[in-house]
Amino acid sequence: MTYDAGDIQVLEGLEAVRKRPGMYIGSTGPAGLHHLVYEVVDNSVDEAMAGHATRIDVRLLPDGGCEVIDNGRGIPVDRHPQYPELSAAEVVLTVLHAGGKFGGSGYKVSGGLHGVGVSVVNALSTWVEVEIDRDGKRHRMTFRDGGNLQDRLAVMGEAPAGRTGTTVRFWPDPAIFDQIEFRAQTLLDRFQMMAYLNRGLEITFIDERPGEDTSVDGPVRFLFEGGIIDFVSHLNEAKEPLFPTVGYFAATEEDQEVEIAFQWNTTYQTDGMHSFANGIATIEGGMHEEGFKKSLTNAINRYAREKNLLKEKDDNLQGEDIREGLAAIISVRLRDPQFEGQTKGKLGNVSMRSLVERSTNDKLAQWLEEHPAEAKAAVAKAIGASRARLAAREARNAIRRKSALEGAGMPDKLKDCNSRNPEESELFIVEGDSAGGSAVRARDPRTQAILPIRGKILNVERARIDKMLRNTEIQTLITAIGANLGEEFDITKARYHKVIILADADVDGSHIRTLLLTFFFRQMRPLVENGYVYIAQPPLYSTEVGKSKVYLKDDVARVAFERDQLAAGRKQPEFQRLKGLGEMDWEELRETTMDPERRTLLQVNVEQAAIADEITSVLMGDDVEQRKSFIVTNAKDVRFLDI
């Protein structure tokens, strides 16, 4: 093999996007497919944040395309100074990182600053149509096969009276994506959040695709005049608010603004705070969250001392005590956001921390004085949380003392791996001792550890941390993973970078997976956010072809296999439904589920923590009516039901 100048490739234009789509949209799976819609809609939302758009209409077309219409200013249509042969609109659709958000006067704030832009949507589509209503005229251009300009921008006639805005229609390329069927609920969750964060912005959604499995009944409309106040009320719908009032304050300083809404509920979670910068979810927090947490702790302690709600001998309330049961939205907007990494997971602007600290110190103190009943209820809850925290500390110390006395750092039931490198180490959490025994024989002892758990663990959604720490199975999980939990969880101390839930493919197995996922999401969320949590995918079916046994992952694989067998002139295959891991011997378990070369793992991630928070509360909380409503609403999205 040679390696010289001729081996250095230069990818021109949008060719780079098609060559390595994952670099631009994350993946070619469902997340990447839906990212195309977000890129187009984000441009329209930027127009709304700039004060030039009030409505966005999204339509899933019968033939699999997507249409996004806004009533903003419309993409500029005059010639571009850097590319005089092209209009500005053609540049936006064909040149990477081209747009009006890189220092010009078109946008004061923008959510799309680090995005890859609509040009990537063009690159990954078979056909794109763009209509622009601007200056009283309707302009149109089209692109085909990955961004090749088919019809140059041209005036098609007069725009409807007074109408301005942009319409984008695109059809994803099936040669790029694993599948090109949009999931309506995934889009609706995102649009709902956008509408909450942009008070007065109306977003409508219509699914015109045929078939019950894909369509939403009628148009869906999101419009929240209360903005993030309505957002907090929505988050607490599945919980019991401590009081009916939703607190709110806002502040503006030069090119920065912050608005915060908050309300306590009766739950024991401390992760109900969600932050956004220019409409982008900052799931890893950042300066705005730091400023709010610090000032919230100071303001509540100051109020509690002034009103004699804390005794002289009492210690100050800790931040985690005050945040127990707090649902809060922190939304900031600024001209030059500094995000850590391309994922925009963490905001780094120090000036924003200062603004949030000052405004929270002043305005939260004022709110507490004006709402004494609510303030006393919040302080009383924090005092209860403080007592539980002290009890939990005793429980932790008891666990540590017990481990020290027994002389073994790890639980007896854990069959650990030999490797001490977390990056290559895997922990299989296995349902039951019998399946655990098979998994121990099937594993690679160098990198795979096995932890059998007995029955169903505690539902942590309904338990305070002191009760949680008295649960034997949870103690075992905490010790095995080795990174603590809750506020003290330290992802750098995790002993495994793959924590794999291995449960039966039946109703009980699904329940165990749900309980474990609730525990990880509530008490070890960084484990989920960093992509360390996986669900094993044992096959649902087996059949025999000649003397060979064939395993099939799910119903889709079974139908495809059956079709292929019949097409080849073979007889109708007989399938065995494998409900339990105990039905497989250890060789089968290794071959189908544990061998890294042949297995399938489902990675669990949290793209939108606020939505995950809400769904977890609905499904695992105490409100039966909310849970029933969720099940009825989403019943038609169920693909494979085991009853």
Positions marked active-site: 431, 504, 506, 508
What does the alpha-carbon distance between residue 516 and residue 617 come to, in Å, rounded to a whole number? 14
Handedness of CA 384, 493, 438, 418 (dihedral sign): negative
486 SS3 class: helix
- DSSP strands (E only) in 135-246: 137-144, 148-158, 165-172, 202-207, 220-222
Does residue 134 contact residue 160 with C-beta atoms inside 8 Å?
Answer: no
In this structure, how many other beta carbons lie within 10 angstroms of the beta carbon of residue 34? 19
- Please list the alpha-helical segments (H only) found in 20-115: 22-25, 30-49, 88-94
- Residue 602 contacts by C-beta under 8 Å, 6 or more apart in sequence? 534, 535, 536, 537
What does the alpha-carbon distance between residue 377 and residue 397 come to, in Å, rounded to a whole number? 30
Does residue 452 contact residue 415 with C-beta atoms inside 8 Å?
Answer: no
Does residue 44 contact residue 168 with C-beta atoms inside 8 Å?
Answer: no
- Between helix 624-634 and helix 609-620 the angle, nearest 10°, is 120
Does residue 55 contact residue 202 with C-beta atoms inside 8 Å?
Answer: yes
Tokens of 492: 């750098």
Which helix (H) or strand (E) segment holds residue 18: the answer is helix 15-19
What does the alpha-carbon distance between residue 514 and residue 520 come to, in Å, rounded to a whole number? 10
Residue position matching structure tokens 């925009």? 344
Residue position matching structure tokens 């956010």? 529
Residue position matching structure tokens 């073994």? 408
